[in-house]
A = this chain, B = another copy of it.
Amino acid sequence: MTDLTATGRVILGMLRLGHRTGYEIKSVVDVSTRHFWAASYGQIYPELKRLEADGLIVGEEEPAGGRARTAYTLTPAGEAALTAWLTSADDLTFELRDEGLLKYFFADALEPAQVAEHLRAVRERHERVLARLRQMEAGAEALDARHPYLTLQFGIEFHRWIAERFARMEQELTSSATPRRK
């Protein structure tokens, strides 16, 4: 029994929330964990085969009309593997790759007006994410689990904090650096 891969974890977790096809798993990921844990078809389908071969999930043929369709369910071994991962004390991956911060780090090469423009762009990026997360609220409340909703609330406050932090930096910069007319 090999260790659960990154994608394997999301799949087991998603299947615990309900019986699903690969396609549905991807759809749910896209409107829920995508902002902190993405997955693509190129990972999901091969991983479903592997998890089934390891006995952690079972697929059932459920054709919809004439269309082939395989929906998966957790096995007891799969439930156990999920719980083992959820309760393990291993280091938790935290990876951030933020080009906005990287540019800001190098912003000494720019004019104050250009820095202000950049800060505005970063703030707007997070405001756009915020808008998308807010649209997901209804869907998250509909799921019959509390934590997806609580996680979304975290995401909303997280991006709001960032947007406000950049707004403050922008204000401080423009109030001190704007050349006065007159």
A96 near B99 (CB under 8 angstroms)? no
Q: A139 at interface (Cβ–Cβ under 8 A)?
A: no
**Set of chain B residues within 8 Å of A33, measured between Cβ atoms:** 101-102, 105
Q: How many A residues touch the partner, as a band?
A: 35 or more
B165 near A102 (CB under 8 angstroms)? no
The answer to whether residues A92 and B86 also contact, given A98-B36, A108-B145, A108-B146 and a CB cut-off of 8 A, is no
B96 near A96 (CB under 8 angstroms)? yes
21 A-B pairs within 8 Å (CB atoms) are namely A16-B109, A32-B105, A33-B105, A35-B96, A36-B96, A36-B97, A36-B101, A37-B99, A82-B109, A83-B110, A85-B103, A87-B118, A92-B99, A92-B103, A94-B97, A94-B100, A94-B129, A95-B95, A101-B154, A108-B145, A154-B169
